[in-house]
Structure 1
Amino acid sequence: MLENIQRTAAYIKNRIGDFEPEAGIILGTGLGGLVKEIEVEKQLLYANIPDFPISTLEFHSGKLIFGILAGKKVVAMQGRLHYYEGYSMEQIIFPVRVMRQLGIKTLFVSNASGALNPSFAKGDLMIIEDHINLQPNPLVGSNEDELGPRFPDMSEPYKLGLIEKALDIAAANNITCHRGVYVAVTGPSLETRAEYKYLRIIGGDAVGMSTVPEVIAANHMGLPVFAMSVLTDEGFPETLKPVDIEDILAVAQAAEPKLTLILKELIAGLNG
């Protein structure tokens, strides 16, 4: 696996020259518009990168974008990978490991998720301060000691300093922004009433089908993480209504400018 990571990183470096990204960004469902804020220097299709998995979703572009955002060099994944697409966990975290090889020092993640906390509302933002993983752990299997330890600590999976800065940015811009616990499930079916109730009982504030594998891999490699959800639907058992992907995409796109503002200001404040 390490050889594949190094080979892929070498291929990318050969095409981006001396560009070394400081931050990596993973853009979630309906949230690819942040790319418009990047002064793009190079784009690579996943399909053209050796060993790189290809997103199978029609609303995920499948590009690695290299450029300048808020004065910082970044690499953005425009299109992420999901367990429900049939990929192994090793494939899902492969891009994060490659970005680390390329030199990123902080990982930023966004996603669309369903609200579990009844004090949250559709269209709100939630900064992830912790998670509950109900997907397979991506570190199962032989450990690559060069990447990280066999038993990585997960006491601060999301960087507290970045969380506090993001909350300050949101408050200064009058953006409703919660902090909470994200529950990762496999999908692709949405949850039943009983499942929403269970996920709330065990401590979840929002539920989704992504993010946590990449966060675990980042922590394994000692990479600080900031993650934020756009709450695109409401999983409240008593008032549950049918949801389809068009609704989710519409809510995500409407909330995206707020998420983009917070991410841009956070990235601008990164130390070189």
Structure 2
Amino acid sequence: MSNSFIPFPQYENAVFCGDKAAEILGALRIYSRALIGGEVPSMELLHPAEKPLECISCLLNNPEGILKTALRRMNADYVLLEENGKKDFNPAVLREKIESFGVSVKVLDVKGDADEVLRRAGKLYGAERQAERVIRDRKERMERLLELRIPKGRRVVVLLGIRNPIRHESYVFRVAAHSDLSQLLRGQFEVMNLFESTPEKDLIAGIQDLGSVEELFDLDPDLICLTGDALAGTTALQKTLKAGAKPCRAITEGRIAALPYYCDALSWRAPFILEEWSEALMW
């Protein structure tokens, strides 16, 4: 942050349910002992000190099995639920059920833009000053991005690599043009994601099966972008080339970049993520 004051972290004896809630509170340096997510791939890398319990879908299907034992073992003070307004994916609908376990519940409304949610979280935890510092820093970074002369209309394909945190396995997916990441890049830098598809094929929002990498080469992108675990993405490219696929110009000219992933749950990080993307787009 441009402001030199960074508060000591505040650790709550609680479970945070919801990726965006955990991220927003992390921006305020407020952390839980355990969290439940599902929207942000490899969330454990962003929140290494918070034990991942399960995904939100699992929680909604079996709140007692997922939470009750953990709350007892932790002797948790409370559970924080995010209110995201999403049908079939909203932790806040479990408020009464979790209160029936004999534990207090807090709810954080995460609808709206990042600044709004930061202010709500700051008010909920008495961290209003830190919320305003984060908001100010975000604004300053976005203003500096507007000063950059970045070529418009770059054509990209985007892969997402995910590494299993327990087993030695990795997985690679395509990031579609309707994804939050693609929309962010289009709005800021007029970047065009060449992989057009329909949301019905999504595994999670904007993320689809890898399919044929050779098909992506045929789209002739200006830049191949490896988000998430870049080694997993690189391996997928290498396997395709070794199998005899004709490389596209981005491959032969070395226009491949490891870049951060983005989705709405990471919205407070947007300026930081765009800063890294801006460097890759400036060739």
What TM-score, normalized to structure 2?
Answer: 0.25
Structure possessing the higher relative contact order (Cα contacts under 8 Å, 6 or more residues apart): 1
Structure with the bigger percentage of helix: 2
What TM-score, normalized to structure 1?
Answer: 0.25
**Greater gyration radius:** 2
